Structure 1
Amino acid sequence: MENEIQNASRRSFLKNLGLTAGIVAGGSKLFAGPAILTDLYQKGSLIKGVQIGVITYSFREMPDQSLEATLQYILDSGLSATELMGDPAEVFAGKPKNPVDFRTLFPLMRKRREKQPMTEEETKKLDEAEALMKEYRAEVKKWRSSVSFNKFEEVGKMFKKAGVKIYGFKPDAFGKENSDEEVAYGLKAAKALGASHVTLEHPSDDNQTLRLGKLAVKYGVKVGYHGHEQQTPTFWDTALAQSPGNAMNLDFGHFVAAGNTEPLDFVKKMNKNIVSMHIKDRQTPAHGKGNLPWGTGDTPLKELLKQMQTGKYAFPATVELEYKIPEGSNSVKEVQKCLEFCKNALS
């Protein structure tokens, strides 16, 4: 019954996509051709030459995590470009359902990554989830070995028709435990979506970045390495030297929270190596490293956006919503505020 309801909702969404996108975009001209699509992107979140996008991780607290709902969240937020997490597209393409709800685990994963104290119950919860994920990954690996990329092309067309550009794709397919075939799958899926690059957490393993860089060149899709507070000015040096397929998915807010004192100069120096950049407002170590509503932390976001504009940087700035959502609000409303901040900064 649940599947029937979801399928009915999907059919209804696809049927009404043109109308919904037309309303959001401001008219039926959306369907007139490529020139109109370019115009739509500009009316969306391409602001005075700076492309503002959003990573769909920002909507992790929304109740419906389907592809159709995710696209609607992007549209309702006012964005016209995105870094798409793996699950919405892969589930649409038929991937087996994940037994682990990562929305409940993200805070614990962050705790472990940042080496924060964890209770015995929290540690047990993560360990149990990892055991389930080991079995699930084997099931997904089998599915990926035979999946058609037609569904990913369909996703790309759906987003394009709605006026949303997919520039990055982040499936869980690029780890050390993933075979070359799975990595190839992820790169091919990204290309089918229309993305220029995939993103993943930097593995801190030179052999792995070398392997991924070679495969990136082979399949014509760049690999952008993301970081958190381990980011330093030399964090990406080895990967960048290994292959032209390797690139940076810089997180500007985490870079500031890590204590790097010249973030704007670093972006200026490395802009040709950046394929996309996460933006958020974090505090410096001296002020507690908080993740705050935009404009209240220590991250020079306005200066960054202006620098992107004057420097004519080619990469998008990706809104990543990580601060605590106020009571009575939701992810979409807060992403709208982040976009408004960007518009004001570039006005």
Structure 2
Amino acid sequence: MQNNSKSTRRKFLRNTLTLAAGSSLITPSLFGAPSILKYYNKPNSKFNGVQIGVITYSFRSMEDQSAEATLKYILDCGINAIELIGDPAETFAGRPENTLNRSVYFGLMKKNKSGAISDNEAKELAEIQANQAVYNAKVTEWRKNADMKKFEKFRKMYNDAGVQIYAFKPRNTFGKNNSDADIDWGMKTAKVLGASHVTVEHPSNDATTLRLGNFAKKHRIYIAYHGHEQQTPTLWDTALEQSKYNALNLDLGHFVAAGNTAPLEIIKTKHEHIKSMHLKDRQTPEHGKGNLVWGSGDTPLTGALELMKDKNYTFPGTIELEYDIPQGSNAVAEVQKCVEFCKNALK
């Protein structure tokens, strides 16, 4: 019954979004639901020349992870541009079903990262990761013959609703152990989706960035390396020298949590190579490195947004929701708050 319920809900969302995006014959009385009215006008999260987007990973806690539901979350936030995690597009295109319990997995990963994981939990995490390795192999096989027309259909659904895909981040695609076929598929699919760049965690391995840079040149699409607490002002220098298609997916919050001083300087010095920048509010190491509600941490978010506006930087700022969601709220409501923060900062 649960699967049937989800299927019905997705069908409703698909039909509603298609009608709202493409029909000129709709009248409010057709639905009788004020929440639908926002879809008549295309979303706009470009404020004073600065494009604000969101990575769809921000909605990972929402129950329905389908393409249609994810689009509704984006529209509910008034956002018109995104960095797309691969899952919604790939499942839409027929990827084999993943039985992963996301809440359990992310909870164990969080405990493991903080060092608070028990022995039994560590064993459970290892079993999940082993199962995921088997699943990833199945996905690699599926991708070899995946129908690109379905990704074109996905792009059209999002574009018709007013949402552009500027970056694509498929899972298990651009790592040092991935095959040439995986990398080719990821970059080809990104172009079909309309993305200007793909994103991947910086591998801290020069051979890997050289390899990926060569693939990026072949496909004429940028590959932007995301950083966590390994970020330094010089982290990307070798990759940038290796290929003009190697670029930055700077994460300003992690950059601050890594203990780097003058975080706005890296934006100024690397802006020509930044294809998108993740926005979150983290603390410095002295204050505990916390990931906090925007405006309460040490990351100069307002200063960064003002700099983007004043210097006419064209790369988007990407909201990445990683602080704990308050009780009684959800990811959509919190991303809405982040959008409002950006809007106010860019007045």
TM-score (norm 2): 0.91
Q: Which runs of 5+ in 2 are unaligned?
A: 23-34
Cα offset, 1:3, TM superposition: 5.5
**1:68 alignment partner in structure 2:** 68
Letter in 2 for 1:223: I
SS at match of 1:211: helix
Question: d(CA) in 2 for partners of 1:76 and 1:241?
Answer: 41
**2:144 alignment partner in structure 1:** 145
Question: d(CA) in 2 for partners of 1:77 and 1:317?
Answer: 15
**2:123 alignment partner in structure 1:** 124
Question: d(CA) in 2 for partners of 1:226 and 1:24?
Answer: 35
Cα offset, 1:99, TM superposition: 2.6
In the alignment, is the contact (CA less than 8 A) between 2:93 and 2:151 conserved in 1?
A: yes
Letter in 2 for 1:304: A
SS at match of 1:105: helix
Cα offset, 1:115, TM superposition: 6.6
SS at match of 2:174: coil
**2:194 alignment partner in structure 1:** 194
Question: d(CA) in 2 for partners of 1:198 and 1:10?
Answer: 27
- Structure 2 residue 79 is the aligned partner of structure 1 residue 57: no
**2:277 alignment partner in structure 1:** 277
**Residue-by-residue CA offset, 1:150-180 (whole Å, 9 max, x unaligned):** 1111111111111111111111211122111
Question: d(CA) in 1 for partners of 2:146 and 2:39?
Answer: 36
Letter in 2 for 1:324: D
TM-score (norm 1): 0.91
Question: d(CA) in 1 for partners of 2:195 and 2:272?
Answer: 18
**Residue-by-residue CA offset, 1:171-229 (whole Å, 9 max, x unaligned):** 12111221111111011111111111111111111111111111111112211111111
In the alignment, is the contact (CA less than 8 A) between 1:24 and 1:75 conserved in 2?
A: no
Cα offset, 1:6, TM superposition: 4.4
Q: Which runs of 5+ in 1 are unaligned?
A: 31-39
Instruction: Rate the CA distance shift 1:145–1:3 in 2: closer, same or farther, 3 A.
Output: farther
In the alignment, is the contact (CA less than 8 A) between 2:20 and 2:39 conserved in 1?
A: no
In the alignment, is the contact (CA less than 8 A) between 2:10 and 2:69 conserved in 1?
A: no
Instruction: Rate the CA distance shift 1:207–1:116 in 2: closer, same or farther, 3 A.
Output: same
Cα offset, 1:15, TM superposition: 2.2
**1:163 alignment partner in structure 2:** 162
**Residue-by-residue CA offset, 1:35-89 (whole Å, 9 max, x unaligned):** xxxxx45xx1011100000011111111111111111001111211111111110
In the alignment, is the contact (CA less than 8 A) between 2:198 and 2:223 conserved in 1?
A: yes
Letter in 1 for 2:224: G
Cα offset, 1:288, TM superposition: 0.9
Deviates more, 1:176-185 or 1:114-123: 114-123
Letter in 1 for 2:285: P
Letter in 2 for 1:247: A
**2:298 alignment partner in structure 1:** 298
SS at match of 2:296: coil
SS at match of 2:260: coil
Cα offset, 1:9, TM superposition: 3.6
Question: d(CA) in 1 for partners of 2:180 and 2:36?
Answer: 41
Instruction: Rate the CA distance shift 1:255–1:107 in 2: closer, same or farther, 3 A.
Output: farther
Question: d(CA) in 1 for partners of 2:7 and 2:188?
Answer: 26
Question: d(CA) in 1 for partners of 2:142 and 2:78?
Answer: 34
Question: d(CA) in 1 for partners of 2:239 and 2:114?
Answer: 25
Question: d(CA) in 1 for partners of 2:198 and 2:103?
Answer: 21
Question: d(CA) in 2 for partners of 1:21 and 1:256?
Answer: 40
Name the % identity: 56
Letter in 2 for 1:164: V
**2:238 alignment partner in structure 1:** 238
SS at match of 2:135: helix
Question: d(CA) in 1 for partners of 2:39 and 2:166?
Answer: 24
Cα offset, 1:24, TM superposition: 6.5
**2:134 alignment partner in structure 1:** 135
C-alpha RMSD over aligned residues:
1.9
User: Which 4+ residue blocks in structure 1 deviate beyond 6 angstroms?
Assistant: 22-25
Letter in 2 for 1:165: Q
SS at match of 1:54: strand
Letter in 1 for 2:313: Y
Question: d(CA) in 2 for partners of 1:188 and 1:101?
Answer: 29
In the alignment, is the contact (CA less than 8 A) between 2:39 and 2:161 conserved in 1?
A: no
Deviates more, 1:45-54 or 1:99-108: 99-108
1:96-115 alignment runs, 5 A limit: 96-112=96-112, 114=113
Question: d(CA) in 2 for partners of 1:111 and 1:227?
Answer: 21
SS at match of 2:99: coil
